[in-house]
Amino acid sequence: MGILAAVFVGLAALVHVYIFVLESLRWRHPATWKVFGLSSQQDADTTAPLAYNQGFYNLFLAIGAAIGIVLVFTPAYAAGFALALFSTGSMLAAALVLLSTGRSRLRSASIQGTFPLLGVIFLLITLVTR
């Protein structure tokens, strides 16, 4: 189960790095702002500072998850487990918050939250069976 947990936590980290790239580096590109439901370049320019900041939150969660997974396979298992669980739990909570803004966000929340959910589940199974 530990390997499955590592895989899903790692995939969650990769998705959140991708979200960082979209929000913090590519926000003003039409292909990106259309993904986020913006209708004009002006809207993208207006919201760019918020997206930039939000993107870094996603990056920091991804870094935490990645470091956690690395540490799980070292003598610092407990610290790695806690960091991986905290990071993926935060990703999952953020996806639920996104979903709470309306049913139209179901697809985005699913993309953002599926791998973290599976990571959390397999981390907890690993904890119980260890």
**Whether 9 contacts 123, CB under 8 Å:** yes
Structural domain boundaries, residue 43: 2-129
Round to whole Å and give the CA distance between 1 and 54.
32
pLDDT band at 2 (very low <50, low <70, confident <90, very high): confident
Q: What is the largest CA-CA distance in the chain?
A: 53
> pTM of the full predicted structure?
0.93
Q: Encode pLDDT of 15-53 as tens digits.
A: 999 999 999 999 999 999 888 989 999 999 999 999 999
For residue 42, what are the contacts with CB-CB under 8 A and spacing of at least 6? Answer: none
Please identify which residue in the block is written with the tokens 């979200």: 19
Q: Encode pLDDT of 74-94 as tens digits.
A: 999 999 999 999 999 999 999
**Whether 26 contacts 52, CB under 8 Å:** no
On the 0-12 / 13-18 / 19+ scale of CB atoms within 10 A, 103 is exposed
**Whether 48 contacts 80, CB under 8 Å:** no
How many domains, in total, are found in the chain? 1
